[in-house]
Amino acid sequence: SQQGEEDPQALSIQEGENATMNCSYKTSINNLQWYRQNSGRGLVHLILIRSNEREKHSGRLRVTLDTSKKSSSLLITASRAADTASYFCATDGGMANQGGKLIFGQGTELSVKP
């Protein structure tokens, strides 16, 4: 399978704590994206990091990328109950992918308890 893996599969934390999710992928990439999905709803784009970038910030989100290890991490700081959702990393498959398909990981289910 081309799909990567996310770790952990599930994460439960208290409000105010930080949440870290990791993603590993298998192919070369042009960019890597993180998406969020509330239960049974559509995916919402959070952040995109290009293959020549190592770190990117957006509000309470921090994404790192290590292309030598084919891995990325998403850090959510000062989590809120409203952050409860599933988080997916998605890669574009690099030069081998002539189209725009995204290859998704299995996702991390985050539960933030008030």
Partner 1 sequence: DSGVTQTPKHLITATGQRVTLRCSPRSGDLSVYWYQQSLDQGLQFLIQYYNGEERAKGNILERFSAQQFPDLHSELNLSSLELGDSALYFCASSPGIAKNIQYFGAGTRLSVL
User: Where does this chain bind partner 1 (CB under 8 A)?
Assistant: 3, 30-31, 33, 35, 40-45, 48, 88, 92, 97-107
Query: Closest distance between partner 1 and the C-beta of residue 11, in Å?
Result: 17
Closer residue to partner 1 (CB): 101 or 113: 101
Provide the minimum distance between the beta carbon of 46 and partner 1 in the complex, in angstroms, as a whole number: 10
Q: With respect to partner 1, which residue has the nearer C-beta, 44 or 82? A: 44
- DSSP states of 68-114: TTTEEEEEE-S--GGG-EEEEEEE--GGG--S---EE---EEEEEE-
Q: Is the dihedral of CA 50, 53, 57, 62 positive or negative?
A: positive
